[in-house]
């Protein structure tokens, strides 16, 4: 038993190939219907730059892919605006939707390849569900730590508070001032909205969105308060080196030499800073003395300092500094409030499953990064509230 199911068209050009003997749960003579359903438009309901989402399923219950076989899926895609073919190839991930976890996952997908002639991607799968082609820096690469969550069933609102940890190499200056959230309560999607932040704070490190209207299915408030990462090494020999600021494209590094004698050189990520015995400085990067005698100087490194970069010091001081040992990563404290229609839940606080799933994204277009998680264990549940802490 085998065959091919197809959805053809200008935007679709999508099919599933079923090899012989690859189906379990059906007789050899039984005729089966495999349905391909196009779900939404490019970018809908999933984080990242994507093609349309496709759902593949048998119409008959109990029919699955045999555990020793795979199906071949050919799925159309759209190259995101501003992205090169090489970037697409380097960042492509195929993901499927796990309904139980309310999250996009990548296991059970193999042999991914691209056909540029007809803009399709092919891959092998061991199960059928909803699939999507992500072309992104990374899939789900924001780490979300929700510290507090509260659902008010009588008022129809959801509050989330916590921290967003960005991947190495990213900071707020890498991102457009935009964000989005998809919130699913008790298995029902109650909010899916993109927002543009108002930028506040001396460093532009306070992003805020507020909507004074109380409209069901919307985000009422979304704030991100950015806290920079820090590196600080203070040796017993008096040598002190730390960061003044860490951005996505550059780092301000501060070197203190008040208690250091002799000439030495600092090397990091291809950049060299040399001090002679009188603290005269030789380097190719920009710097600004904070003291007349150069005992404290700010250097502008043309890259983001990340934990895996060692710092080599030679000369009067001989040491290798493992940046990760003295590094504290940056994060954004966030606050998110959304409004939902209580009428969607006749059982109110007794609704099942008793879960809250969320996808939070920052930025826009190719550089948008996202993360997702699920709350299923609550500190308090009564007829009015669910609370997590």
State whether 120 and 15 are in the same domain.
yes
Of 135, 164, 195, which residue constitutes the final position of a domain?
A: 135
Of 328, 356, 379, which residue constitutes the final position of a domain?
A: 328
State whether 70 and 206 are in the same domain.
no
State whether 45 and 128 are in the same domain.
yes
Q: Which of 348, 352, 304, 346 is nearest to 329 (CA)?
A: 304
Domain of 124 in residue numbering reads as 3-135
Helix (H) or strand (E) holding 143: strand 143-152
State whether 40 and 110 are in the same domain.
yes
Q: Give per-residue pLDDT as tens, 69-90.
A: 677 777 777 666 556 787 778 7
Query: Three-class SS of residue 127?
Result: coil
State whether 240 and 186 are in the same domain.
no
Q: Which of 331, 330, 308, 334 is nearest to 321 (CA)?
A: 308
State whether 211 and 342 are in the same domain.
yes
State whether 36 and 115 are in the same domain.
yes
DSSP labels, 297-330: EEEEESS---TT-EEEEEESS-EEEEGGGGEE--
The whole-number pLDDT of residue 138 equals 39
Could you list the pLDDT tens digit for every one of the 389 residues in the chain? 445 544 444 345 555 655 555 455 555 555 555 555 555 444 344 444 444 455 655 555 655 666 666 777 777 776 665 567 877 787 777 777 666 666 667 777 888 888 888 777 888 877 666 666 655 433 346 788 999 999 999 999 999 999 998 876 677 887 889 999 999 999 999 999 999 999 999 889 999 999 988 899 999 999 999 998 899 999 988 899 999 999 888 999 999 999 999 999 999 999 999 999 999 999 999 999 999 999 999 999 999 999 999 999 999 999 999 999 999 988 999 999 999 999 999 999 999 999 999 989 888 765 677 788 899 999 999 999 999 99
State whether 236 and 316 are in the same domain.
yes
Q: Are 190 and 336 in contact (CB under 8 A)?
A: no
Of 91, 109, 135, which residue constitutes the final position of a domain?
A: 135
The whole-number pLDDT of residue 362 equals 87
The whole-number pLDDT of residue 43 equals 39
What CATH code is carried by the domain that includes residue 368?
Answer: 2.60.40
Q: Report the half-sphere exposure of 116 (CA within 13 A, side-chain side).
A: 5
Pairing of strands 120-125, 130-135: unpaired
Alpha helices, DSSP H only, in the chain? 85-91
Write the CA distances from 361 to 153, 175, 208, 243, integer angstroms.
25, 11, 14, 28
**What does the block give as tokens for 319?**
């040491």
pTM across the whole model: 0.62
State whether 317 and 269 are in the same domain.
yes
The whole-number pLDDT of residue 73 equals 77
Q: Are 346 and 352 in contact (CB under 8 A)?
A: no
Q: Are 229 and 329 in contact (CB under 8 A)?
A: yes
State whether 154 and 223 are in the same domain.
yes
State whether 321 and 349 are in the same domain.
no
Query: Three-class SS of residue 86?
Result: helix
**Residues whose CB is less than 8 angstroms from the CB of residue 86 and which lie 6 or more positions away in sequence, other chains included:** none
Q: Give 3-state DSSP helix, strand, coil % of the chain, rounded to 5.
A: 5, 50, 45
Q: How many domains does the chain have?
A: 3
Rounded CA-CA distance 268/145 in Å is 32
State whether 89 and 10 are in the same domain.
yes
**Residues whose CB is less than 8 angstroms from the CB of residue 345 and which lie 6 or more positions away in sequence, other chains included:** 153, 185, 186, 188, 351
What CATH code is carried by the domain that includes residue 38?
Answer: 2.60.220
Q: Are 240 and 290 in contact (CB under 8 A)?
A: no
Length of the chain: 389
Query: Three-class SS of residue 88?
Result: helix
């Amino acid at each position: 038993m085998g065959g091919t199911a197809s959805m053809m068209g200008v935007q679709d050009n999508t099919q599933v190939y079923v090899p012989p003997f690859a189906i379990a749960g059906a007789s050899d003579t039984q005729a089966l219907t495999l349905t391909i359903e196009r779900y939404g438009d490019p970018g809908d309901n999933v984080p990242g730059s994507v093609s349309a989402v496709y759902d593949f399923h048998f119409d008959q219950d109990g029919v699955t892919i045999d555990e020793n076989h795979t199906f071949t899926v050919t799925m159309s895609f759209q190259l995101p605006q501003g992205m090169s073919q090489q970037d697409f190839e380097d960042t492509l991930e195929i993901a499927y939707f796990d309904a139980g976890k309310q999250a996009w996952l990548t296991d059970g997908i193999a042999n991914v390849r691209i056909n540029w002639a007809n803009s399709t991607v092919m891959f092998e799968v061991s199960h059928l569900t909803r699939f999507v082609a992500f072309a992104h820096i990374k899939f789900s690469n924001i780490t979300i730590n929700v510290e507090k969550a509260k659902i008010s069933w009588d008022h129809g609102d959801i509050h989330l508070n916590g921290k967003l940890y960005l991947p190495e190499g990213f900071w707020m200056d890498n991102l457009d001032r935009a964000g989005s959230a998809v919130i699913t309560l008790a298995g029902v999607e109650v909010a899916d909205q993109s927002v543009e932040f108002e930028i506040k704070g001396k460093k532009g490190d306070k992003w805020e969105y507020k909507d004074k209207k109380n409209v069901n299915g919307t985000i009422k408030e979304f704030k991100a308060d950015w806290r920079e990462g820090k590196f600080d090494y203070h040796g017993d020999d008096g040598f002190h080196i730390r960061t003044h600021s860490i951005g996505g494209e550059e780092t301000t590094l501060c070197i203190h030499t008040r208690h250091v004698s002799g000439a030495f050189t600092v090397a990091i990520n291809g950049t060299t800073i040399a001090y002679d015995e009188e603290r005269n400085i030789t380097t190719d990067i920009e710097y600004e003395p904070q003291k007349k005698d150069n005992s404290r100087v700010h250097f502008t490194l043309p890259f983001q300092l990340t934990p895996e970069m060692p710092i080599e010091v030679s000369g009067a001081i001989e040491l290798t500094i493992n940046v990760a040992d003295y590094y504290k990563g940056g994060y954004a404290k966030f606050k998110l409030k959304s409004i939902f229609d209580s009428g969607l839940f006749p059982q109110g606080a007794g609704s099942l499953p008793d879960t809250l799933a969320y996808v939070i994204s920052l930025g826009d277009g190719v550089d948008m990064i996202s993360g997702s998680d699920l709350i299923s264990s609550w500190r308090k549940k009564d007829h009015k509230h669910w609370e997590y802490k």
